[in-house]
Every structure is written in C-alpha cells, then in structure tokens.
Homo-oligomer: A and B are copies of this chain.
Amino acid sequence: MTGPTPRPEVAAMHAYVPGEQPKDARLVKLNTNENNYPPSPKVLEALAALGERRIARYPDPVCGALRESIARTLAVGPSQVVVGNGSDEVLKMAAEAYVSPGERVGCLWPTYSLYPVFVQKAAATEVRFPWSLDGPTQEEALEAAPADLALAYLTTPNPPFGLPLDLDAVRRFALRRPQTLVVSDEAYIAYGGKSALELVREGLPNVLVTRSFSKSHSLAGMRVGFAVGSAEIVAVLNKVKDSYNLNATAQAAAQAAWEDQAYTDAVVARIVASRERTAVRLRGLGFQVPPSAGNFLFALREDAPALFPKFRDHNILVRWFDTPGLRNGLRVSIGTDDEMETFLRAAEALCSQ
C-alpha cells in the first residue's frame, strides 16, 4: 500500500545535517561552535529552584519575564522581542511569515547552511550573493545583490569564515529594499562585529536582528534564541510562533544567563583572546586563517580533507564541509584554553609529519 503524498517541495527537500553530537565525553569537541565553558552558576541555581509545579504546568507561552529582561538590557520595548527555540526557530519564523511560494530569498554565500532549508520549505527561490576571500568581498556582494527579495539573511560575523559585515553596507542594503525583510543573524555577535540593532533603534522598519544563547551563554543544550525588530514585525512573527515554544527550563536558564552579564563578558573575553592566540599559531603551521570575529576559525590548508580524520584519531572533533569552496579548510570552534592547547599540540604533530 502506498500512503499519502507529501508536498512536492518537502519531497524534494534535503534536511539540514547538523554537526555531529557525539556522546563520548573524552572528545575535544570543536565542531559546532558551542561555548565549552560551563554556564553561569546562576543557571544551575535557577534550574535547581524550578520546582515540580513549573515542570508540571504549561510554561509562560510568551516568555514574558525573559522578554522583559532582554528588552530592558537592549533598550527596546518588550513588544519588539520574540523568543524562540534557538535562533533557528526565529530565523525559520521569519521565512514562514514573510515568504510566499515563488518569491526570492537571498543570502551571502558561503554562510550558515540552514537558510536554504527554510527557502525550500517555503517553496521559494534561493538567491546567493557569492563572495570569497579572493573577492568580491561580502560588502561588494551585498552591493551587487538583486532588489526583488522577500527576505534576506545577512549574517555577522558570518560563518564559516567569521568575517563581520560592515554596518553601513547593511544599512544601505536595507534602505534600498524597503519591502525586503532584512534578517541580521547575529548568533556570534558577542565575539565581534557591529550589531544591526542600531538600525532597529533608528527605526528601519524592515530590519530584524536575531541572537542566540548557544554561542556565548553556554546554553546550546537549552535551545534559546530571540529576535528584535519593530513591534509590527514581531506581532506578525507571533502569529506563526508555536503557542508554547519554550519550555520552563529554557526560559529560566536563559533569564539567569542573560542577567549574569559579567560572567558572560569574562568568558567571552577569554575565548576572544584564545582565538587570537590560536590563529597566530595556526598561521605558523602554514594555515591561512582569515581574521574571525566569531568563536571559531576557518583554517585553510591544501591537506585539510586528510587532516580532518587525523584530528579525530587524536580524539579532536573539528568541522569539515564537503562543499565547493570549503573543502580545503577546517572550521575550528574555540573551546576552553586547555582544549585549544590539546588541539594545537595535535595540529603541530600532524603538520610536521
């Protein structure tokens, strides 16, 4: 017996393949850009204090306390903030709410490889703005991008290389396309680059900023992100939001982490310093390492495809993309200082062979 037929766009979809999440705790895990330092002690306190009642009852459907805390810090209104199950969910909601079948959705390329999945799901057409280290630059690619886009995902700093986007280039891009929803994906903004939040505060009605708790707040396991934009855009996103999209633990953990800004700042500073040291040492080993504003480096060397499994043999997991233009590089998350020392020693051993 055959069964029902899925939507043709879904039948044709290639599901996003997340980076490997191995259970082996001995592995030095530098493949999915988490923050490998522990979360703020306030997070563990908040989780321990949650209590049976908040586990058994429905959570706050609109994440009121968390949204108010975020809005206060960012000097926007709570009605300008919507919280999601990771920034992935708010990135997805933007496409669900603003992209009709057949419309065009743009993004720099290379970039975060999840966007094409949203485009396929929306039965829309993907428009790539190609850029590379040899030129055109990301900003030149933005300047040359087409006008008729329902939505554009701009990413700063932009993985896998980690280059930040010039804010004036983003402003020009948005001003020239008042009908395009310009999503500034800022998952890594704690580590560098300029936020487009300034454009939201300036009143640009087509800019939406997204953020994550996975990359700088050590909460990847809790799945929390958010978006900030005009109250009008946020009201539309709320229509497509799942009614109870964040569980009680995620809300409590994120609020505790958010309000311990001093802890996050200290950890981020440590990771940034380690990133710079790591880049210098990798360049010394013959890698080309573009200056990254994220918590990761993209390290290019001819033999990257061969090095990838050798690192694994050393119990070190980095990311290798089997994608044109990326095959000669390894994306290395900046872990703890100890983890980076282990990684660099392995790199030194492997590169001197």
Contacts and interface: CB of A to CB of B under 8 A. Distances in A.
Contacts of A248: 221-222
A10 B97 contact: yes
Nearest to A16: B243
Chain A binding site: helix, strand, loop or mixed by DSSP? loop
A52 B44 contact: yes
Contact of A101 (B4, B18, B101, B223): B101
B57 A4 contact: no
- Each complex incorporates copies of this chain amounting to 2
Interface in A1-19: 1-8, 10-11, 13, 15-16, 18-19
Given A54-B221, A55-B221, A121-B240, A179 B10 contact: no
A300 to B, nearest CB: 25
A232 interface: yes
A8 B15 CA distance: 27
Interface residues on chain A, size class: 35 or more
Contact of A92 (B6, B23, B53, B242): B242
A264 interface: no
A192 interface: no
A244 B18 contact: yes
Contact of A223 (B59, B179, B219): B59
Contacts of A11: 236
Contacts of A189: none
Given A4-B98, A96-B121, 4 more contacts: A34-B56, A47-B249, A58-B214, A85-B245
